[in-house]
Amino acid sequence: MILQVKDITKRFGVVRALEGVSLDVGRGEVHALVGENGAGKSTLTRIIGGAERADAGDISFEGSSQALSSPAAALAAGISIVYQHLNLSDELTVAGNLYLGREPRRALRGGVDDKAMRRAVTAWLDRLGAEFPADELVGRLSPSDRQLAEIARGLSHDPKLLIMDEPTASLAPVAAERVFAVLRELTAAGLAVIYITHELAHVFDLADRVTVLKDGRNALSAPIAEVDRGGLIEAMVGRAVEELFPPRTQQPDRAAAPALELRDLTLPGYFESVSFSIAPGEVVGLGGLVGSGRSRVARAIFGDPPERAADPLRGTVLVDGESFRPRGPRSAVKRGIGFVPEDRKAAGLVLGATVADNIALPQLERLASFGVLRRGAERAVAERETEALRIKTPGVDAEVGNLSGGNQQKVVLAKWLARGCRVLILDEPTPGVDVGAKAEIYLLVRKLADEGTAVLLISSDLPELLGLSDRVLVMSRGRIVAELEAEAATEESVMKAAFDGMETAPGLESAA
């Protein structure tokens, strides 16, 4: 065993990220690490990579625990990590990035030995089947090529253990195959790999062993020959269903005119021919793997742009039966669309502002006469909402950045509840939210639906998706591949549809 992880535990405040997790990786082994979002995979990699310390438990690399004291020590000992989030400098060349901080120098004349760098990097690019030269600026590479460069960087450290976090998330299929081939060659020569992925096909292609993490615990660890797809999915998702979800008391009136309807909405490169409708009072879940295009659809409806939109948005959006052109958030808000974005810190909240200020933000006009804010009205709204949502805060004048994750998320919801929406889009409403607050948020969403709001729920948390939705749509590679009634949908059927879509859908390479 090159790496032995035994019973490690890691807490962040009251949140338990890892609880008694064990993992053994042998030389020449590809060890797949799978699990839902938030299962603890990333925390585990950070601990192995020396970026975090475990609170309890033993961890040793080649028999020594010293190797994991810091990222630099881990790297020096031979642990190299390819992160999911790209870690390259746009303004340096591929070669410059691969050797950043450890540039070879020329023996006699000093300075950077560009020739040696180019030679070494080109060898890796050759091996990985990359089409771009070592002298290209990283800022000019496509996402897939950047990912390949990142993998090349991980390999160029000549590691003994390579950790890859979703390495193929934005990699073109051809490139992914090359990467696998190289990994097979290197593992045959003794390299150990921890391979984190959502794509089960890759697990069976590549891995020798697989470990499933679920809610920060080991759910399964077995040689690949002893598990099958179904068993893996079951281990990932099967959990005691907690009574988090409020009962569906009212049947949505699907005969009524839909509150939101999409007809053949297409954004080339992101999603294709997406059509569905949501009745007033209905909660429609949009499931699928990360990168399947779910968030893009939601953002397109709200008028929030992708970074590179090369082609026009085609198709029709109807709100309450009337055609609606997504011109931007302002017009969407005016038409009664609310949007709880994926990343509350980056996009949902003004962290430095108070609870009251944040709640008031989408409805400032209503709280003002002739542009002058009515302080009483503003406070009243904020106090009403904090009370209704049971937001735990010292007061409405407290800074939002000081609240806990669950209460922050409630403030984001309060923004839109205070305004009142015809259509509410929730993009991953509960990551990092504790169970109690989750249950409260679910109750709110259900209540909102019962009052006639149409809700579009995007979630990677399958119990949440199934427990809350009246109907579940599954997206894969930018297309809707399945529509399941709440009664008929199970975690297995959603995952199956998503994974099947990955393999069969002719759709887009990657919609991330």
Partner 1 sequence: MSAIAARVARAPRPDLTGAAASWLALFTLAVVASILSSDFLDKQNLLNIGRQAAPLAVVSLGQTIVILCGGIDVSVGAVMSLTTVVVSTEMNGDPSMVIPAVLLVLVLGAAIGIVNGFLVARVGTDPFVTTLAAMLIISGAALVYTQGSPTNGLTPGFRQISEGEVLGIPASIFFAAGAFVFCWFILRRTVWGRTIYALGGNMRATFLSGRRTALVQASAYLAASLFAVVAGLLLAARIGTGAVSAGSGYELESIAAALIGGTAFGGGRGRISGTIAGVLILIVLFNLVNLLGLPSQLQQIVRGAVIVLGVAVYSRRAVTGS
Partner 2 sequence: MSATHPSTRPAARRVRRRLEPKVRVHRAVNRWLGPLWVWGVLIALVVIAIYTVPQFATLDNYKNILKQAVPLALVAIGQCGVIILGGIDLSVAAVMSLGDTLSMGIMNGGSGSILFAIVAPLGLGLLIGAANGAVVAKTAAPAFIVTLGAASIVQGVVFWYTHSAPYGAPALSFGELGFKEYGPLPALVVLFIPILALALIVQNRTRAGRHAYAVGDDDQVAARAGVNVTRVKVATYALCGFFAALAGIAVATRTGSGEPLAGTGFDWDSISAVVIGGAILVGGRGTIGGTMAGVLIITLIENAMTLKDVSPFWQSTVKGVIVLIAVIIAAMTAKETLGRLLRWRPMDAFRPRVAARPSATGEGGAA
Task: Select the binding partner of residue 333 from partner 2, partner 1, none (C-beta < 5 to 8 A, by kind).
Answer: partner 1
Shortest reach from residue 406's CB to partner 2, in Å:
27
92 counts as binding partner 2 under rule CB under 8 A? yes
The rounded distance, in Å, linking the Cα atoms of 52 and 37 is 19
Distance CA 324, CA 331 (A): 9
159 lies in the site for partner 2, by CB under 8 A: no
CB of 146 to partner 1, least distance (A): 22
Residues 10, 41, 160, 178: which binds partner 2 (CB under 8 A)?
178
Pairwise CA distance, residues 87 & 76, whole Å: 18
Q: Is the CB of 263 or the CB of 422 nearer to partner 1? A: 422
Q: How far is the CB of 149 from partner 2 (least distance, A)?
A: 12
Closest CA to 321 of 253, 256, 416, 252: 256
Q: Is 353 in the site for partner 1 (CB under 8 A)?
A: yes
Whichever of 96 and 406 has its CB closer to partner 2, that residue is 96
**Which runs of E-coded beta strand occur in 176-312?**
192-196, 209-214, 217-223, 260-267, 271-278, 283-288
The residue within the footprint of partner 2, chosen from 20, 133, 223, 395 (CB under 8 A), is 133
Answer for which of 288, 362, 463, 501 binds partner 1 (CB under 8 A) is 362
Asked if 435 touches partner 2 (CB under 8 A), the answer is no
Alpha helices in 4-40 (DSSP H): none
CB-CB contact of 475 with 504 (8 Å): no
Q: Which residues, including other chains, have CB under 8 Å from residue 89's CB and lie 6 or more apart?
A: 96, 97, 100, 138
Stretch that binds partner 1, among 158-166, 198-206, 368-376, 451-459 (CB under 8 A): 368-376
CB distance 274 to 264 below 8 Å: yes
262 binding partner 2? (CB under 8 A):
no
Plot region of 75 (φ>0 → left; ψ -120 to 50 → alpha; else → beta): alpha
Q: Is residue 93 at the binding interface for partner 2, with CB under 8 A as the rule?
A: yes
Q: Residues 341, 406, 429, 507: which binds partner 1 (CB under 8 A)?
A: 341
Beta bridge partners of residue 192, listed in sequence order: 161
Is 348 a residue that touches partner 1 (CB under 8 A)?
yes
Query: Rule CB under 8 A: which of 297-336 touch partner 1?
Result: 302, 304, 329-330, 332-334
Please identify, using beta-carbon distances, which residue of 344 and 446 lies nearer to partner 1. 344
Which residues of the shown chain bind partner 1 in the complex (CB under 8 A)?
12-13, 302, 304, 329-330, 332-334, 339, 341, 343, 345-353, 357, 360-362, 364-365, 368, 371-373, 375, 394, 401-402, 415
